[in-house]
Structure 1
């Protein structure tokens, strides 16, 4: 099965955010390259919010290009077999934490946001990943900083999208 086929199946089985889910499905139907950065109409991305539920905190990255505290995530790559594995790969690459495990049940949220030209949109499929008890983060080349934030601190440092992602992830725990 191709990554494109997996993305369609994941989105068809996602049972929330109906309008946005359909927009993603329409995008993939209209754009066979809709998972790749080269698709100027926009592309599907995968992200993972790294959570430490035992300590009531999340790990956010200070994004190098945007200068904002966000979840780990980014573009799909040719070697990615599934959206879930793309999200997990991004989570591990950007956090430096081996042993992350995605919450079962698929994505917890979808978020569509504008990005600068030449592309127009990121259609982000957002997962939640549990950090192991002994997690030690390591800053990647894609990040200015990494920091753990208590759940109640996230609204003060990040945007509404991350706050909603955290709410959904906590509900899925």
Structure 2
């Protein structure tokens, strides 16, 4: 994957200071901004998995972070895009092999610093959305301690700061995509 593709996708987003910070980071880092070993900070892809009625969200309990969060991880060399990274990570971490993104549209930008226990200083996370049947079998991966469905309006207490607001914004954008 080349950073030029990501720059195109970021540029297509509405103006915001966050979007512009991402553009600056990716321009400055080039292809290294997409590599886990490209520096202390790098792009990651994540996926918010909703039930088809958007009433529930599937979350994993992140072992290192000690919180419930959407699925996601590092861009791998074989990933053709950050959206492909998000889909691959959601499949691997949820055990839902046929999970598909609603769209390759970017729905969330969240740069977060990492605490001890992580090999890097910060992730420039790019979020997407997918739908899955809550009756589909799920599995816990090596990277998390649990995977569970939650009502979007009754999240567990152990979520990162601001996660509820981000989830609501992603849900609203995903609803618009689903209606289109």
Q: Could you state the TM-score of these two structures normalised by the residue count of structure 2?
A: 0.86
Q: Deviations over 1:45-68 (max 9, x none)?
A: 100011114371111101011111
1:164 aligns with 2:165: yes
Say if 2:56 is the partner of 1:71: no
The yes-or-no answer on 1:136 pairing with 2:134 is no
Partner residue in 2 for 1:62: 61
Report the TM-score, using the length of structure 1 for normalisation: 0.89
- 4, 17, 21: which is aligned to 1:19? 17
- Are 1:150 and 2:151 counterparts? yes
Task: Name 1:48's counterpart in structure 2.
Answer: 47
The 2-side partners of 1:3 and 1:134 are apart by 37
CA pair 132-145 structure 1, distance change in 2 beyond 3 A: same
Deviation track 1:53-112 (CA, whole Å, cap 9, x = no partner) reads 437111110101111101000110000001111110111111011222212360111001
Q: Residues of 2 paired with 1:169 and 1:68: CA distance?
A: 19
Q: Secondary structure at 2:73's aligned position in 1? A: strand
Deviation, 1:134, is: 4.4
Q: Which residue of 1 aligns with 2:27?
A: 29
- Gaps spanning 5+ residues in structure 1: where? none
Root-mean-square deviation (CA, aligned residues, Å) is 1.9
Residue matched to 2:178: none
Unpaired stretches in structure 2, ≥5 consecutive residues: 176-180
